[in-house]
């Protein structure tokens, strides 16, 4: 269990949270719900998506009083989990918690991902947003972006490598923009999520990476890595001295990626609404909002319609990055 996961589970009081057994469906929801729910995650255990899914599962289990479990179907940038959702019964028994990569990026950059989110999926609820950052190992000399850029000019081979959490991801395209602007030759090393990438950086296999603040913040605080740039339209309260990429002259990365819950397209409207409101009740607990805020994940519920509109806007903004 990584440090960010241990910290957040402890803060939330979920580290030893027992299953509620025997479970009886909450009568407020019973007529609209399947007997059990599985939340799919398209990335390995230990990352922000996985932890957020497990937090939701625990909260929904209490809220709905039915079994709610998390199933990791990692691989291909979340495509395996998305394809599993598409093939699932549209009764609310199988949901997908995903971020932008699987929903917005893969369909734009992959010829045949095996699913079309706009046709095959129904948005259930927006869950929040997160921030990606550029970070470097504390074992190399630079302490900020400008020093890192200068240091790279004298480096060769593996020292010019930089990890990204997935191939054809927004972080990979950020590297391309950095190369173009700074006349560098950084080489991307794609991983299956931020967690394994961070492990390699901590083990000194590669000197830098781009990933979510959630996976990085505790290691930054313990001075094992240095966060030297953040995506988004403004600096983070968590990292007031770290500039945005816009400030560094690299434009186009002002919109922060989303987290949201999706169901198969033909889910009954009543079931979708019931699940959305149950998710809202879970997310509105102030202790969870505060706990996640300290990790760089902004917890923010939005309705199915609001979230669908957010995804469309994000698709349009990300399309500009790729062309």
pLDDT at 25 over 60: no
Average pLDDT along the chain? 90
Decide: helix, strand or coil at residue 244.
strand
Range 132-230 has CATH code 3.90.1150.10:
no
pLDDT at 8 over 70: no
Q: Mind listing the pLDDT tens digit for each residue in 33-81?
A: 999 999 999 988 888 899 999 999 999 999 999 999 999 999 888 999 9
Kindly provide the b/e burial profile for residues 134-144, where b requires at least 16 CB atoms within 10 angstroms of the residue's own CB: bbbbbebebee
Q: What percent of the chain has pLDDT over 90?
A: 77
Q: Mind listing the pLDDT tens digit for each residue in 100-113?
A: 999 999 999 999 99
* Run of H or E residues at 137: strand 132-137
Instruction: Look at residue 20 in the predicted model and tell me its pLDDT.
Output: 26
Q: Mind listing the pLDDT tens digit for each residue in 239-287?
A: 999 999 999 999 999 999 999 999 999 999 999 999 999 999 999 987 7
Alpha-helix residue ranges (DSSP H) falling in the chain? 3-12, 48-64, 79-86, 100, 106-109, 117-120, 145-152, 170-182, 194-202, 213-221, 269-283, 286-293, 304-322
Residue in the block written with tokens 């020292």: 159
pLDDT at 185 over 60: yes
The closest alpha carbon to 173, from 255, 252, 99, belongs to 252
Instruction: Look at residue 32 in the predicted model and tell me its pLDDT.
Output: 74
pLDDT band at 28 (very low <50, low <70, confident <90, very high): low
Instruction: Look at residue 323 in the predicted model and tell me its pLDDT.
Output: 75
What is the model's pTM? 0.85
What integer is the mean pLDDT of 160-179?
95
What integer is the mean pLDDT of 137-162?
97
Instruction: Look at residue 26 in the predicted model and tell me its pLDDT.
Output: 55
The closest alpha carbon to 275, from 66, 115, 131, 22, belongs to 66
Instruction: Look at residue 46 in the predicted model and tell me its pLDDT.
Output: 80
Domain borders along the chain are: 3-130+256-322, 132-230
**Nearest 10 degrees: CA dihedral of 207, 208, 214, 215?**
-40
Q: CATH number for 3-130+256-322: choose from 2.20.25.90, 3.40.190.150, 2.60.40.10, 3.40.50.2000.
A: 3.40.190.150
Instruction: Look at residue 19 in the predicted model and tell me its pLDDT.
Output: 28
Q: Tell me the range of 17-26, 76-85, 289-298, 314-323 where mean pLDDT is highest.
A: 76-85
- DSSP string for residues in 87-126: TS-SSSSEEEEEEHIIIIIHHHH-S--S--HHHHEEEEEE
Q: Do domains 3-130+256-322 and 132-230 have the same CATH topology?
A: yes
The alpha carbon of residue 219 and the mean position of all alpha carbons in its chain are separated, in whole angstroms, by 18
Which token pair is 292?
């996640």
pLDDT at 200 over 80: yes
């Amino acid at each position: 269990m990584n440090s960010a996961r241990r910290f957040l589970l402890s803060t939330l009081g979920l580290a030893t949270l027992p299953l509620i057994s025997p479970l009886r469906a909450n009568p407020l929801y019973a007529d609209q719900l399947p007997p059990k729910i599985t939340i799919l995650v398209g990335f390995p255990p230990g990352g922000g998506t996985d932890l957020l899914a497990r937090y939701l599962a625990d909260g929904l289990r209490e809220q709905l009083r039915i079994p709610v479990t998390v199933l990791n179907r990692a691989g291909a940038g979340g495509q395996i989990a998305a394809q599993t959702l598409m093939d699932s019964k549209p009764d609310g028994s199988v949901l997908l918690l995903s971020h932008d990569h699987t929903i917005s990026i893969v369909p734009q950059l992959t010829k045949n991902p095996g699913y079309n989110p706009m046709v095959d999926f129904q948005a259930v609820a927006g869950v929040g947003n997160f921030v990606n950052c550029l970070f470097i190992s504390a074992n190399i000399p630079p302490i900020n972006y400008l020093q890192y850029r200068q240091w790279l000019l004298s480096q060769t081979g593996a020292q010019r490598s930089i990890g990204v959490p997935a191939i054809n991801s927004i972080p990979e395209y950020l590297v391309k923009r950095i190369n173009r602007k700074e006349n560098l030759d950084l080489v991307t090393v794609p991983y299956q999520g931020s967690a394994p990438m961070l492990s390699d950086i901590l083990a000194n296999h590669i000197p830098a990476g781009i990933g979510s603040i959630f996976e990085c913040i505790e290691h930054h605080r313990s001075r094992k890595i240095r966060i030297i740039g953040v995506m988004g339209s403004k600096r983070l309260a968590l990292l007031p001295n770290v500039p945005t990429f816009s400030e560094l002259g690299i434009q186009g990365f002002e919109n922060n990626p989303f987290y949201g819950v999706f169901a198969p397209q033909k889910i009954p409207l009543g079931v979708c609404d019931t699940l959305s409101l149950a998710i809202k009740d879970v997310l509105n607990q102030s202790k969870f909002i505060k706990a996640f805020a300290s990790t760089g994940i902004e917890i923010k519920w939005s309705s199915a319609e609001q979230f669908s509109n957010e995804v469309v806007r994000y698709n349009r903004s990300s399309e500009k990055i790729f062309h």
